[in-house]
Amino acid sequence: MRQVFLDTETTGLSAEQGDRIVEIGCIEMVGRRLSGRTLHHYVNPGRSSHPDALKVHGLTDEFLADKPTFAQIAQELADFIAGAELVIHNAEFDTGFLDAEFERLGHPRVAEVVGAVTDSLLMARELFPGKGNSLDALCKRLEVDNSAREYHGALLDAGLLAEVYVRMTRGQKSLVIDAGDETGGAVALPQLDLSTLILPVIEPSADEEALHEALLADLDKACGGKTLYRALVPA
């Protein structure tokens, strides 16, 4: 399965009111492993960023002045995402900007190019209801290192999103580049016989049992004697 993790930075919040993309970053994953392929461009939007947006991404008019326009990178981007599952945090925002940019050029919309669009923000809200589910909040909750994130950068954020996605979908602990073994074939893993494995049972001390009973008593008091633990665990 081929996935592309995508993020954009923009001049403001409204594509409908003429805001434009100033940066785009894509990272490819195949079979839940990073392939090493990326796409990253700063984009000259032809207009200034809103001051609030500038505080977020730090990309000044002077810096973007000599960068390519979206028209110059549109086909490369379309080819990179073609047929892939596109994973975006708050997908409606980014696809709205991408669709606006593509439509100006007469290109097909994102949904017509990719295989599917997955919104990782909606996934996070289902997994962690009632909690903060920004990319920064998820990095902290899932122990993904985002210490290099002084500004929001599209390629950096796409990489963080890939790490967050793997952990949210209960995959491996961290991402690696899929280099394969030296022969290019599958790596044979040793088979372990676990039938004779005996796990130690550590009995609680008297003090630990007393603390546990005190905790259960507090729970009983708080919920009116409806603590499930006493009903489920035999005395």
| Mode of pairing for the β-strands spanning 85-88 and 2-10 | parallel
Query: What are the C-alpha distances in Å from 64 to residues 4, 24, 132, 210?
Result: 25, 13, 32, 66
CA distance linking residue 16 with residue 96, whole number of Å:
9
The secondary structure element, H or E, covering residue 85 is: strand 85-88
Active-site positions read 152
CA distance linking residue 44 with residue 101, whole number of Å:
12
Tokens matching residue 50:
């809103």
- SS3 label, residue 232: helix
Which position has the token pair 């259960």? 216
Nearest to 41 by CA among 5, 65, 77: 77
Spatial strand order in the sheet of 33-42: 33-42, 21-30, 2-10, 85-88, 116-119
Q: Give strand pairing partners of 38.
A: 27
